Amino acid sequence: MLKAGLDRGSVVVGLGGGVVTDLAGFVAATYMRGIRWVAVSTSLLGQVDASVGGKTAVDHPECKNLIGAFHQPSAVLADVATLATLPEEELRTGLSEVVKHALIRDAALFDTLEAEADAILAREPTVLENVVTRNVQIKADVVMADEREGGLRRILNYGHTVGHALETLAMEAGGRLAGAAVTHGRAVALGMMAEAQIAAARGTAEAGVVGRQRALLERFGLPVRLDEAPDVERCLAIMRHDKKARGGRLRVILPEAVGAVRDVDDVTDDEIREALCGLADDGAPPKNG
Question: Which among 71, 153, 154, 186 is annotated as catalytic?
Answer: 153
Catalytic residue (one of 71, 90, 97, 154): 97
| Least distance CB 91 / ligand NAD (angstroms) | 10
* Separation CA 155–CA 138 (nearest Å): 11
Q: Answer yes or no: 243 catalytic.
A: no
Given the complex with ligand NAD, which of 59 and 233 has the nearer CB atom? Answer: 59
Catalytic residue among 134, 160, 186, 212: 160
To ligand NAD, the closest distance from the beta carbon of 85 in angstroms equals 4
Q: Minimum CB separation from ligand NAD for residue 20, in Å?
A: 6
Nearer to ligand NAD by Cβ, of 93 and 161: the residue is: 93
- Least CB distance from residue 43 to ligand NAD, whole Å? 3
Which residue in the list 100, 101, 134, 157 is annotated as catalytic? 157
Active site residue 97: yes
Q: How far is the CB of 138 from ligand NAD (least distance, A)?
A: 13
Residue ranges in contact with ligand NAD by CB under 6 A: 16-20, 22, 42-43, 45-46, 49-50, 53, 55, 59, 82, 85-87, 90, 93
Q: What is the 3-state secondary structure (H, E, C) of the chain?
A: CCCCCCCCCCEEEEEECHHHHHHHHHHHHHHHHCCEEEEEECCHHHHHHHCCCCEEEEEECCEEEEEEEECCCCEEEECHHHHHHCCHHHHHHHHHHHHHHHHHHCHHHHHHHHHCHHHHHCCCHHHHHHHHHHHHHHHHHHHHHCCCCCCHHHHHHCCHHHHHHHHHHHHHCCCEECCEECCHHHHHHHHHHHHHHHHHHHCCCCCCHHHHHHHHHHHCCCCCCECCCCCHHHHHHHHHHHHHHHCCCCCEEEEEECCEEEEECCCCHHHHHHHHHHCECCCCCCCCC
Q: Is 273 a catalytic residue?
A: no
Q: Verify whether residue 105 is a known catalytic residue.
A: no
Spatial separation of the C-alpha atoms in residues 154 and 118, rounded to whole Å: 31
Closer to ligand NAD at the Cβ: 22 or 231?
A: 22
Polymer length of the chain: 289
Is 143 or 254 the residue whose CB approaches ligand NAD more closely? 143
Q: Nearer Cβ to ligand NAD, position 83 or 277?
A: 83
Residue type, 142: V
| Annotated catalytic residue, options 139, 154, 186, 212 | 139
Q: Which is nearer to ligand NAD, 93 or 197 (CB)?
A: 93
Least gap, CB of 53 to ligand NAD (angstroms): 5
Instruction: Please give the distance of CA 122 from its chain centroid, rounded to a whole number.
Output: 22
- The set of catalytic residues is 33, 55, 97, 139, 149, 153, 157, 160, 164, 184
